[in-house]
Amino acid sequence: MKLPAAWRRFSGALGPVGLASLGLIVGALIFHLAIEQPLQARRQTLERQLAPLAGRASAQADSASDAAAADLGRFYRFFETGRDAPAQLARLYTIGKAAGVDLRAAEYRVQKAGPRMVRYEIVLPLSAGYTQIRTFLRNALTEIPVLSLDRVSIRKERAADGQVQADVRLTLHLLQS
């Protein structure tokens, strides 16, 4: 098969590098037409199908964020007792008196528990009957819902003693004022 004279002159003028370049250009054109354009058309179709779903997902994310903010608001409202630490401690003293437990001494430590919370750690050495201490703790935790019981250590000097010695650690959780 004979190549036309014009092609021979053209290929001779281009040389091997020029012919290879021309082959690459033709290959790129075929790739663009046969593969890239159909993929772009498919991508556009999928984007049109996903657009309504993306809007719904964004709305769901916004509603989840709103729900989390509402939950956090409810959490902080739980600690809004309207009473400051001295008032809560006076209430604790009254509850102890009513249960027959004499609160003579206490150790207090204040610790910041976050941007809006403050913890008052209270250590109470108690001497009373087991039932009285138990009543005191139950009533204190019921009447002061922002109070938590961290530790109770009970000991008895002699088996015949009616009273027990207890070391109680409580924490009062309050909003920072």
Query: Whats the size of the chain, residue-wise?
Result: 177
Question: Strand, coil or helix: what is 52?
Answer: helix
What's the mean pLDDT in 14-27? 84
Distances (CA, A) of 54 to 9, 14, 61, 91: 59, 53, 10, 54
The percentage of residues in the chain with a pLDDT greater than 70, rounded to a whole number, is 89
Distance CA 125, CA 176 (A): 27
Given a contact cutoff of 8 angstroms between Cβ atoms, the answer to whether 81 and 165 are in contact is no
pLDDT at 92 over 60: yes
* Nearest alpha-carbon partner for 104 in 56, 155, 165, 46: 165
Tell whether 106 and 64 lie within a shared domain.
Answer: no
Mean pLDDT for all residues in the chain: 83
* Nearest alpha-carbon partner for 117 in 77, 70, 149: 77
Domain-ending residue, one of 29, 48, 78: 78
Tell whether 3 and 63 lie within a shared domain.
Answer: yes
Q: How many domains does the chain have?
A: 2
Tell whether 99 and 169 lie within a shared domain.
Answer: yes
Model confidence pLDDT, tens digit, residues 115-126: 788 889 999 999
Looking up residue 165, the CATH number of its domain turns out to be 3.30.70.60
Domain-ending residue, one of 57, 78, 99: 78
Domain-ending residue, one of 49, 78, 107: 78
Neighbours of 94 (CB within 10 A): 14
Predicted TM-score (pTM) of this structure: 0.58
Tell whether 73 and 22 lie within a shared domain.
Answer: yes
Tell whether 62 and 127 lie within a shared domain.
Answer: no
Structural domain for 160, as ranges: 85-175
